[in-house]
Chains A and B, each alone.
Chain A
Amino acid sequence: MPANQQKAEIVRTEKLTGDIFRFTLMAPDIAADARPGQFVMVRVGEGLDPLLRRPFSIHQVAEGGLLQILFKVIGKGTKTFACLQPGQHMDVLGPLGRGFEYNTYREHYLVGGGIGIAPLLFLAKQLLKNNVSPAIKVLLGARTKEEISVLADNFGDMGLKVLLSTEDGSLGKAGLVTDLMSPLHNENQAMVYACGPYPMLQAVAAVSRGKNWHCQVSLETIMACGIGACLGCAVLPADMNGYVHACKDGPVFDADDVAWL
């Protein structure tokens, strides 16, 4: 699937909370080929600082060539993005990387932490095309209620069962998203799709192994090009034989293929 570079018009901007934004872009060439778990690289303005493109999971695609990204304002790049208005353009490269493998198993656990929830909405939508909703459970964790309440509603509106955890106990179970996994019991072979910070993914992989669930994780690494040229996004594989690269071999990996260090 070849990558495209597009000047994508911003159709809509949503501020979900103080520092989390959802942008809807008109990017038909990229949206047409996109699969859940893939990502885009977005250029920060026309200037030289910040220099590098920023990677974002594809949050959703919709009819008419629409593509959404979800981001949290963390540094200079995301701060610049947050100031953009509908009608302005973003230089977007995508779709990139290897997305989630799905539709092989009969029970699906979508496990997201914080801003890592982004690609799971797209995945849920695709899973619903071939599965009944009770076969899909969405487990979301964050530090506070503000970070996940809108997203939880988005999954809920799709008719999916959503379990929530927050570290401060302001919504759902007080604790970590892995605490939501522990009590679950599957009747059929189950697949876990996880995206979030590295320690969370490591914990999700461990819980999944204990329950004999197959687990895929979407890894976030620093990267410069997104297309396999810079080799900056090295990930140590489980066999420790050389490195694999998040942009081409991932960002989605089988949890058993990653050397969890």
Chain B
Amino acid sequence: MNISIGSLQLKNPVLTASGTFGYGEEYDSLVNLHRLGAIIVKGISLLPRRGNPPPRIAETACGMLNAIGLENVGLESFLAKKLTFLQSINTPLIVNILGDTVEDYQQLADRLNGVEKVAALEVNISCPNVKQGGVAFGTDPNMAHAVTKGVRRHFSRPVIVKLSPNVTDITEIARAVEEAGADALSLINTVLGMAIDIKTCKPKLANIFGGLSGPAIKPIALRMVWQVAECVSIPIIGIGGITTPEDAVEFMLAGASAVQVGTTNFINPKAAEEIIQGIGTYLAENKMASLQELIGRARRA
């Protein structure tokens, strides 16, 4: 069940997605954190962010919309208050970073490069819920390239770039990010959407638009993983509505080397552990000796 993402060695291919797993400690009594492939923590910015006004979430068919607005404690508070717990867990820590400028990303990378526990960075260029930065970097190949290059230069361990689905051609962004030196890609972030309350005649989210996640977006995510796998040679981490081992297997068949479990953590905190177990069972039942036989198999068929 071992897998490498660049130079990052994981004991299994199941990671918890940023923004759905807090700073790890929230799940301590519900999940065996030591079993996870890696923990990706809530996106961190240089300074704390207060996030968007409520209501921030709305349930939709087989999914949910969120417009949290990247509320986070900020880099210094993360290092001072959240890191100690994560250091006590025998699971690689991946820190998701976000900024308004290329310099913000570089400063975050530089500072986290000095923190040994941080095994890799996931660069968030795809949050749909903030006005500046975020998705702006993720929808323009030149800006995506510039951010990736900046982080690459300041961080010596693996750099993963998280892509937005809210683009005309995701492969264009993927290629730009690979060319800039990313070690891996994670996709997809949430799909921009909205919901309206017909009783109040108002949008359900104060932010009007939010990011759709959950099983509703799985087919979109799977298609994008397939497309990106076609055109890059770096590993892909598949994300989008994964709730069962079968979902994870689908993503790996499409070409993902690993997967992230996101929204499902809210509903079934044990999902990531069940998926780890289930992928192992699938390999055994289908007489596959390793994950390598699974990854991209549907493409070879």
Interface residues of A (CB under 8 A from B): 2-5, 43, 48-53, 91, 93, 221-225, 227-236, 242-243
A230 near B68 with CB under 8 A, answer yes
Q: Are A231 and B20 in contact (CB under 8 A)?
A: no
Task: Give the number of A-B contacts (CB < 8 Å).
Answer: 102
Task: Assess whether A230 is in contact with B57, with CB atoms less than 8 Å apart.
Answer: yes
The contact of B63 among A3, A51, A231, by CB within 8 Å, is A51
Q: What's the minimum C-beta distance from A237 to chain B, rounded to whole angstroms?
A: 11
Shortest A43–chain B CB gap in Å is 6
- Quick one: which of B254-301 are within 8 Å of A by CB? 263, 265-270
Q: How far is the CA of A48 from the CA of B243 in the complex (A)?
A: 9
What does the 1/0 interface line of B15-28 toward A look like (CB < 8 Å)? 00001111000111
Number of interface residues of B (CB under 8 A): 38
In the bound complex, what is the Cα–Cα distance between A255 and B30 (angstroms)?
31
* Residues of chain A within 8 A of B21, CB atoms compared: 229
| CB-CB nearest in chain A for B16 | A229
Q: Given A230-B57, A234-B56, 12 more contacts at CB 8 Å?
A: A3-B30, A4-B29, A43-B268, A48-B62, A52-B59, A52-B64, A221-B54, A222-B58, A222-B59, A229-B42, A231-B56, A243-B51
Docked pose: A231 CA to B65 CA in angstroms: 13
Contact (A242, B62) CB under 8 Å given A51-B267, A225-B266: no
Which residue from A5, A49, A232, A242 sits with its C-beta under 8 Å from B270? A5
Contacts of B215 in A (CB 8 A): 48, 51
**Chain B residues within 8 Å of A, Cβ to Cβ:** 19-22, 26-30, 42, 48, 50-59, 61-64, 66, 68, 71, 214-215, 243, 263, 265-270
State which of B30, B53, B71, B265 has its C-beta within 8 Å of the C-beta of A236. B53
Q: In the bound complex, how far is the Cα of B61 from the Cα of A50, in angstroms? A: 7
Chain B proximity of A98: nearest CB distance (Å): 15
What is the bound-complex CA distance between A50 and B62, given in angstroms? 6
A227 to B268, CA, bound (A): 12
Q: Which residues of A contact B54 (CB under 8 A)?
A: 221-222, 232-236, 243
Q: Which residues of A contact B64 (CB under 8 A)?
A: 51-52, 224
| A222/B57 in contact, CB under 8 A | yes
- Whether A234 contacts B53 by the Cβ 8 Å rule is yes
A5, A53, A243: residue with the most chain B Cβ atoms closer than 10 Å: A243
Q: Which B residues lie within 8 Å of A243 (CB)? A: 50-51, 54, 71
CA A228 to CA B26, docked complex, whole Å: 6
Given contacts A52-B59, A222-B57, A243-B51, contact A228 B22 (CB under 8 A): yes
Q: List 26 A-B contacts (CB under 8 A).
A: A4-B29, A5-B269, A51-B64, A51-B214, A53-B266, A93-B30, A222-B54, A222-B57, A222-B58, A224-B263, A225-B26, A225-B265, A227-B22, A227-B26, A227-B30, A227-B269, A229-B20, A229-B22, A229-B266, A230-B57, A231-B42, A232-B56, A232-B66, A234-B54, A236-B53, A242-B50
